[in-house]
Structure 1
Amino acid sequence: MKLAVFGATGGIGRQLVRQALEQGHAVTAVARRNAEDAAADGARVAIVPDFSEVDRLRDAVAGCDAALSGVGPRTRADGAVASGVTRHILAALTAAGVPRFEAVSAAPVGPRPAGDGFLDRRVLHPIVSRVFAANYADLEVMERDIAASGLTWTVVRPPRLTDQPRGEYRIAIGGNLTRARFVSRADVAHLMLALLDDDRARDTVVGVAR
């Protein structure tokens, strides 16, 4: 497949580029600044310093079969980065006729699954949700925009991200997982690529965790 990867200089984005190339996909890494790692791995790099320039984004993704986004807040201070950037990406994909889009959100977005234990339900989830409330509120906006875009979409919701190597992970189609504590960025990228051809993941959310 011909894939566009947004956020290619970030942790998940780098994994997406590397693993997609290893699987034989043709990859265009779309980034605001020089994506040296992506270029070294063999990806075509499209530098778009300002993602609000939708025409330039459209040109970067023209001819792609799908787009994957690792764009999201890196710190609590990042605010509404996800929804604003994703809105421009969606406009560019629609203009270019790219039919498939996958994006990363977060496990605290959406209702908690039945069966979560006391520690997750009453302690961990409330604390994390309160500390990062602004980030998660923005991700909720992003998810709504994606669902209303008219594209075939998948939103992946990981918990705390680590830099561990890829390993065994669990998924939940259509919602969040119980006991979702952490998952590696390599796991998330592997899942996103696997879901491209999975009809169960069309127009829905997918929870993931170790």
Structure 2
Amino acid sequence: MRVTVFGASGGIGRELVTQAIGRGDEVTAVIRSSSTADLPAEAEIVRVDAFDDPAALVPALDGRDAVLSGIGPRGRNDGPVAAPITAVIVEAMKQAGVPRIVAVSAAPVGPPPEHDAFVNKRVLMPLIGSILKPVYDDLDRMEQVLRASGLDWTVVRPPKLTAKPATGAYRTVVGANIGRAFSVSRADVASAMLDALGDPATVGQPVGIAN
């Protein structure tokens, strides 16, 4: 498969590039011109000055089968990042004729599972959602952009991200968040995103993930 990874200089993006190459995919990694990224030599790196012009992204998408996006705000003061950049990516995908995208979102964007633990459902998630409200508002708008795009989209919603190695021992559920979800490694999130690319059941759906 020929894939383009946006946000390739971030933690999940680097994992997406590395793991996709390990699976035998042909990978184009898109990063800002000012970014530095320790990426595998097998990846084609495309540097972009700004993510406000779809036409500037089309060359990185021509002939590709799918897009993987690790783009998202790094903190509450980052400002809207995921939604505006994803809107530009969506338009570029339409121009290039690329139908499939899998993007990372976050568990607090979706409703808590009905049978989740009381503390998680009534205390922790509302507290986290309040503290990081600008971040989750941005990701919620990103999901709205994808739902309205007409593309074959999937969003993966992890809880707290860690830098631990890939375990392969994570839980996923299509269409909902996972109960008693506290953390998951960026490496496992990348693995789940790559798995979702070829899974028709995830098209047009959020995918909850946690260890």
Separation in 2, partners of 1:35, 1:45: 11
1:144 aligns with 2:139: no
Structure 2 letter corresponding to 1:45:
I
Deviations 1:30-86 (A, max 9, x none): 111355422x43100111110112111011111100000000011111121110111
SS of equivalent to 2:46: strand
Structure 1 letter corresponding to 2:16:
L
Structure 1 residues 10-19 or 107-116, which shifts more? 107-116
Please name the residue that 2:164 is paired with: 164
Structure 2 letter corresponding to 1:53:
D
TM-superposed deviation, 1:4: 0.1
Structure 1, unmatched stretches of 5+, are none
Please name the residue that 2:210 is paired with: 209
1:18 aligns with 2:27: no
TM-superposed deviation, 1:203: 0.9
Structure 1 letter corresponding to 2:114:
A
Alpha carbons of structure 1 residues 35 and 93: separation in structure 2 relative to 1, 3 Å: farther
Please name the residue that 1:94 is paired with: 94
Indicate conservation of the 8 Å contact 1:8/1:35, yes or no: no
SS of equivalent to 1:84: helix
Number of corresponding residues: 209
Tell me the C-alpha RMSD between the 2 structures: 1.0
Correspondences of 1:77-116 after superposition (within 5 Å): 77-116=77-116
Separation in 2, partners of 1:158, 1:49: 29
Structure 2 letter corresponding to 1:80:
P
Percent identical: 49
Please name the residue that 1:197 is paired with: 198
TM-superposed deviation, 1:29: 0.2
Separation in 2, partners of 1:128, 1:199: 32
Please name the residue that 1:123 is paired with: 123
Instruction: Compute the TM-score of the two structures, normalised by the length of structure 1.
Output: 0.97
Separation in 2, partners of 1:27, 1:35: 17
Structure 2 letter corresponding to 1:27:
V
TM-superposed deviation, 1:115: 0.8
TM-superposed deviation, 1:207: 0.3
TM-superposed deviation, 1:123: 1.4
Separation in 2, partners of 1:42, 1:51: 24
Correspondences of 1:172-183 after superposition (within 5 Å): 172-183=173-184
TM-superposed deviation, 1:111: 1.2
Structure 2 letter corresponding to 1:195:
A
SS of equivalent to 1:13: helix
Please name the residue that 1:74 is paired with: 74
Structure 2, unmatched stretches of 5+, are none
Deviations 1:122-148 (A, max 9, x none): 211111000011111111111011011
